[in-house]
Amino acid sequence: MTNKSKIVIVGAGFFGTALANSLSLNADNEVVILSISESQVDEINNDKTNHAFFPNRKLNNFRASLNFNEIKGAKAIFLAIPSTHFLNVSPAISRYLSPGLLIVNLSKGFGSKGEILVDLLKDELNHENVVSLKGPTFASELLAGQPSMFTLGFNNKWESLLIKDIFLNTNIFLDYTTDVVGVEVVSAIKNIYAIMIGYVDAKYNSANTRFMVLTKAVNEIKLILPELNGHLDTLFLSCGIGDLSLSALNDLSRNRTLGLLIGKGFYNENLIEGNSVVVEGANALRVIKDSLTKLTLTRLPLFNEVDQILNNPEYKFNIQFDKLIDQNSDTVLTYGTFDLLHYGHLEILKKAKSFGTKLIVGLSSDSFNKLKGKKSIHSYKKRKEFLESLEYVDLVIPEDNWEQKETDVQKYDVDIFIMGDDWKGKFDFLDKFCRVEYLPRTEGISTTKLKSIL
């Protein structure tokens, strides 16, 4: 009888083999890797090699199998297969699932309907215990024993504790977040910008230009991530900045290599046809593009350039550096009562601040609320204190009447006036002084609703 934890890895390719090799360093793990090739299974079990992917490299002590019934009794299974193969293997996996089994998604991208892969797996397998594991790791270095890092996106504490135990005494280290959506999304976004950085390096061969564009790439991801319901902090984990840097700056990266080929003028229909990087990148672009507002898309020049090249083979990259770096030194102004400060308020303030460097909030005074027939739970003084404590807000001014907006726009040299889309069209008269935008409200929450509940 063994006390070891059984760990099953689905997929005996580059990454599955490297991960199995690392996890077998933990003496408390019993690692089994599933393959569809009988000769590969025999080679791993008898010779401790996998020459198809790692020539002349000896593997650690784990075993391979053809049988999905190995999943029975496992603590966790790691899916190290392309997302396009999920639907092929899900019937074989689902019949052996137990309620306490943890499924770990290592693949990157989106489902055919635009869903994140964790949600796709939950639906296909009818299983709730699915987590995401992403990070800046090349399989060859993982196999060589180099210290490497992943981000675990999890839902429940037991999931993080189990993964922590599985990775003990290996060459893999972890950081953690409950933002599963953000981990899934940022790992797909970074490939788009890796293509761009590869192109820039081929075209300009300049460290100055490379890091100028890399800085802009990070800024664009900051705009995209919240709109796709990810947390901004996730960008600064290993699945974010780490994976972006690995994919964008290292020649082992397939996406960077594609960018290099484009920059050197080798990008043509033959390269496009059947190229998995192009297919994956185009799918990620489509999903992300469809999820973003038109206003946000106007602020993503790098994203739009890659979109053009992947979807239009005749298109020639044309980075206009003046527009690329013409960044938000703008002053933004918005108004509201902001009583019972809630998530919806935070979202619209955060989005408003992303349009410039200074956000001014016109806060309805107590006397103005009385004039409007409104009664706030908190006084103007207290509401002002709440707003000033937020990192997004730079200045709070009193709103005493309906007519002052035109004066405030001119007094504070406002560039962009922003309100929720429930006010759409009501403030268009200000467009002779500044840009006017209406942002979507956060669904499912409002101050009125909170007050009715209270």
Annotated active-site positions, please? Answer: 372, 374
Residue 379: HSE in the Cβ half-sphere, 13 Å Cα cutoff: 2
φ/ψ of residue 397, rounded to 5:
-120, 150
Q: Which residues lie closer than 8 Å to 31 by C-beta, 6 or more apart?
A: 7, 9, 20, 23, 24, 62, 63
> Whose structure tokens read 């979507």?
440
Give DSSP secondary structure letters for 394-440. -EEEEE--TTHHHHHHHHTT-SEEEEEGGGTTTTGGGGGTSEEEEEP
Place of tokens 């999304």: 185
Per DSSP, 390 falls in state S
- In this structure, the chain runs to a length of 454
Helix axis angle, 207-227 to 301-311, nearest 10°:
90
33 neighbors 66 (Cβ within 8 angstroms): no
